[in-house]
Amino acid sequence: MQPIISVVMATRERPQLLRRAVASVFAQRDVGPIEVVLVYDGTQIDDLADLDPGPHTLRAVENSRTPGLAGARNTGILASSAPLIAFCDDDDEWKPTKIAAQLPLMADPDVVLAATGIEIHSAGGKHERLSPASVCLDDLLRSRITELHPSSFVVRADALRGALGLVDEELPASYGEDYDVLLRAAKVGRIVAAPEAHTIIHWDRTSFFSEKWQGIVDGLSYLLAKHPEFSRSGEGQARIEGQIAFAHGALGDRPQARAWARRAIGHDVRQPRAYLAMLVGLGIVSGERVVAALNKRGRGM
């Protein structure tokens, strides 16, 4: 039987977390057959034969495109056979109601992407974040809207292979690839969500390496240049400039941290990331400590 939805899951050296994620897909209730496409990025393939798929199917393939998350997701998209494609990170999981809550939303042909609310599991406990029922481009320029997490996305396959396009493999370090997908989706169709927290997001990060901070600088700078629409949202532009300033501060590059912080404050004097960037750049507090404190409360930078 033809699957109604293909779940693309990119993975690299996290076998136990991967099994938890795949098991949560197999546990979906009140939906037709699901196809899981595992994409192994630079690691040996494991077909997870120890898991019972029930009425669903699983295929495991190697990333045949650019190494990293973007290339792995695109490999899975192009290998999928269903008219709808979902993403799930290999360290996250779905509640059994997730797909059944989203499928009715896709009945509207103008909807290109459907998400859900999220339940964040962090060192500080569980944090439920309800998503807005719908968002437009201006909403996304103003705010990343953390509740719209890629592990909750369901997207039309023909859009990913057409007007929306594949995940951007040119994006440095694949940082912000999900945000880029949202911005592009808002330009070609409607983005909606089942607001309840049907997707579980595991935030167990305790620190960032310098390579990740540089990835934030490069990735967000790339997004600002790619989406000139940010110029019409001072608040949104300042938010990204503040994140870039903060990353420069965490890297110890005080001149760049100050320069980007001034840009952010120039667009929005209330942008808190700009002031945090100055504190981090001066060595008063570490970037890792700030991010850990935010993550503990279910928030991100």
Angstrom distance (rounded) from CA 217 to CA 247: 6
Q: How many CB atoms lie within 10 A of CB 213?
A: 20
* Structural domain boundaries, residue 142: 5-202
Residue 41 belongs to some domain of the structure: yes
- Vertex 154 angle, CA 9 and 10, to 5°: 10
Asked if residue 44 and residue 180 are part of one domain, the reply reads: yes
The Cα-based distances of 211 to 175, 182, 217, 247 in angstroms read 11, 25, 10, 10
Asked if residue 196 and residue 103 are part of one domain, the reply reads: yes
Give residue 211's pLDDT. Answer: 58
Amino acid at 262: R
Give residue 22's pLDDT. Answer: 97
Of 202, 228, 243, the one marking the end of a domain is 202
The Cα-based distances of 28 to 23, 25, 133, 275 in angstroms read 9, 6, 22, 44
Of 149, 182, 202, the one marking the end of a domain is 202
- Burial call 95-106: b when 16+ CB within 10 Å, e when fewer: bebbbebbbebb
Give residue 295's pLDDT. Answer: 56
User: Residue 24: enclosing H or E segment and its boundaries?
Assistant: helix 15-26
pLDDT in 10s for each residue of the chain, 301 residues? 789 999 999 999 889 999 999 999 999 999 989 999 999 998 889 889 899 999 999 999 999 999 999 999 999 999 999 999 999 999 999 999 999 999 999 999 999 999 999 999 987 889 999 999 999 999 999 999 999 999 999 999 999 999 999 999 999 989 999 999 999 999 999 999 999 999 999 986 443 444 588 999 999 999 999 999 999 999 999 999 999 988 888 888 888 988 999 999 999 998 888 877 777 766 665 656 666 665 565 565 5
Residue 13 belongs to some domain of the structure: yes
Residue 301 belongs to some domain of the structure: no
Sign of CA dihedral 271, 275, 276, 278: positive
Domain total of the chain? 2
Give residue 18's pLDDT. Answer: 95
Give residue 246's pLDDT. Answer: 87
Give residue 292's pLDDT. Answer: 61
Question: Per the structure block, which two tokens stand in for 268?
Answer: 């929005």
Asked if residue 228 and residue 84 are part of one domain, the reply reads: no
Of 202, 224, 246, the one marking the end of a domain is 202
Give residue 2's pLDDT. Answer: 83
SS3 assignment, position 17: helix
User: Residue 8: enclosing H or E segment and its boundaries?
Assistant: strand 5-11
